[in-house]
Amino acid sequence: MISRVGGVLAIAALALFLGAPALAGTAKQVIQDGKKFFEIDGELFPALEALGPPPIPKDNPQSVDANGWPLTDDPKVKLGYFLFFEPALSGDGSVSCQTCHVQGAGWALNSAISRSYPGQSHWRNSQSVVNAAYMSKLFWDGHTASLETQAPSAAKGLAGNGKQDMMTARLTVVPEYVEMFTAAFGSANNPVHDAWRALSAFERTLTSTDSPIDQYLRGDEDALDEAQLRGMDLFNGKARCIMCHNGKLASDEKFYNLGLPRQPLFSNIAKNQIGFRSQNYGAGLPEEMFRKTKSDLGLYHRTHNHEDAGLFRTQPLRFIEYTPPYYHNGVMDDLYEVVEFYNQGGGEDYVQKDFGYSTKTDRLKELNLTEDEIDDLVVFLEGFSGPEVLMEIPILPKPPARISVN
């Protein structure tokens, strides 16, 4: 930290001495149709923008304030809040969404590879649910398009192992839930289907839109310090981040192979291998591929196109301060490692190693960032995170010990 401040002062002093405008910026900005872009390698990329309220789908409406921000006293949201913490939505009644999306860990999990239900292990890093409401492609490989369709795969599959009928029964024996479902949806006849909708409505209130970068982009020039502004300039230019982390979401929601290092857990721990291999098996990998695959094939799982092997969705960058470790396989522990990685032009393509052809993006190049520049970029990235999103843990309604029917 101290050395970083030193660097900042030195550069500021130098800039002053040279009489150059400190914030001139080297990134190539282009205005087209009133919109701001940055140009890299002759291509235009939309500038970062402040984040507004999340989109709300027509088929799962919820109440919003005058500016379109979801209200937390909507009965659906309230129900979703309880359900997010509710372990009844899992196979053995021990796992809730909060188990892997821990509010104290940025609504993600501070573990390279996520846990699964007891007895099993997952194979990917747990993503934050903060700002998931903005994404049109959810999960690391973008395999679902809405929160409403994402939630069931979270509760039922490798995460929670919940079964529809048992979860239905568990919800309907709790009188408070029957009331809450009735208040939110008019009845408790279809509680599991409606649970996904309530969870989604709740997740639309889990937003982080007040980061220093958002404030800056809304016009508060003091929100970022000089080092961060230099970092932003690098982000938009020399460091090439804007090529993928762009627009409102700081993500183009497209898929790339960056050449990330392998996750050694899949070679070192039998239980992790089981999680990994069962996903590959479930995705129907051809025998030959199944045997050779030592790293996650990402988008390939969804499309079965060879050119999609090893591609993952560009992560949005808001809130990242709270969500290490990073990337789909959690191989990096902090933002310095991340930036060093990009500085080297990414890594060696494991698709190439396993299968003899490369899918690595050609957007990553050696950046030749100086140590000071790396510092600047890191402090800029830290500017993507506003205050933590914290709330009281709900006291969950419990079923009676015995059911009485009449």
Q: Closest CB to another protein among 55 and 118?
A: 118
Residue from 27, 79, 132, 180 touching ligand HEC (CB under 6 A): that is 132
Residues 236-255 that bind ligand HEC (CB under 6 A): 239-241, 243-245
Residues in contact with ligand HEC, counted by CB under 6 A, come to a total of 54
Inter-residue contact 393 to 85 (CB < 8 Å) = yes
| Distance in Å, CB of 284 to another protein, minimum | 10
55 contact choice in another protein, ligand HEC, none (CB below 5 to 8 Å, kind-dependent):
none
Nearest to 209, CA basis, from 102, 64, 136, 316: 316
Relative to beta strand 35-40, strand 255-256 is unpaired
**CA distance to 129, 241, 283, 314, 329, per residue, from 255 (Å):** 19, 14, 18, 6, 15
Give the C-alpha separation, 88 to 223, whole Å. Answer: 43
Query: Could you say whether residue 47 binds ligand HEC (CB under 6 A)?
Result: no
Give the C-alpha separation, 27 to 7, whole Å. Answer: 21
| Distance in Å, CB of 182 to another protein, minimum | 14
Q: Closest CB to ligand HEC among 208 and 314?
A: 314
169 contact choice in ligand HEC, another protein, none (CB below 5 to 8 Å, kind-dependent):
another protein
Give the C-alpha separation, 357 to 348, whole Å. Answer: 12
Inter-residue contact 311 to 255 (CB < 8 Å) = yes
Nearest to 381, CA basis, from 330, 329, 315: 315
Residue from 121, 127, 168, 236 touching ligand HEC (CB under 6 A): that is 127
- Structure letter (DSSP) for residue 362: T
Query: Could you say whether residue 151 binds ligand HEC (CB under 6 A)?
Result: yes
| Token pair recorded at residue 320 | 């990242």
Region binding ligand HEC by CB under 6 A among candidate stretches 10-18, 89-97, 262-270, 284-292: 89-97
Q: Closest CB to another protein among 42 and 286?
A: 286
93 contact choice in another protein, ligand HEC, none (CB below 5 to 8 Å, kind-dependent):
another protein
Q: Closest CB to ligand HEC among 293 and 315?
A: 315
Residues 293-352 that bind ligand HEC (CB under 6 A): 312, 314-315, 317, 320, 323, 326-328, 335, 338-339, 342
| Distance in Å, CB of 82 to another protein, minimum | 18
Query: Could you say whether residue 379 binds ligand HEC (CB under 6 A)?
Result: no
SS3 state of residue 332: strand
| Distance in Å, CB of 145 to another protein, minimum | 24
Alpha helices in 109-224 (DSSP H): 147-156, 164-172, 175-185, 191-203, 212-217
Give the C-alpha separation, 43 to 36, whole Å. Answer: 13
Position 226: which residue type?
E
CA 211 to chain CA mean position, Å: 16
Q: Which residues bind another protein (CB under 8 A)?
A: 91-94, 117-120, 158, 161, 163, 165-166, 168-170, 172-173, 267-271, 273-274, 277-278, 281-282, 291-292, 294, 353-354, 399-406
Residues across the chain: 406
| Token pair recorded at residue 95 | 């796992």
Inter-residue contact 380 to 341 (CB < 8 Å) = no
**CA distance to 90, 127, 270, 272, 367, per residue, from 97 (Å):** 9, 11, 25, 21, 39
Q: Which residues lie near ligand HEC (CB under 6 A)?
A: 89, 95, 97, 99-101, 114-116, 122, 124, 126-127, 129, 132, 135, 138-140, 147, 150-151, 154-155, 159-160, 199, 239-241, 243-245, 256, 258, 260, 312, 314-315, 317, 320, 323, 326-328, 335, 338-339, 342, 361, 363-364, 377, 381
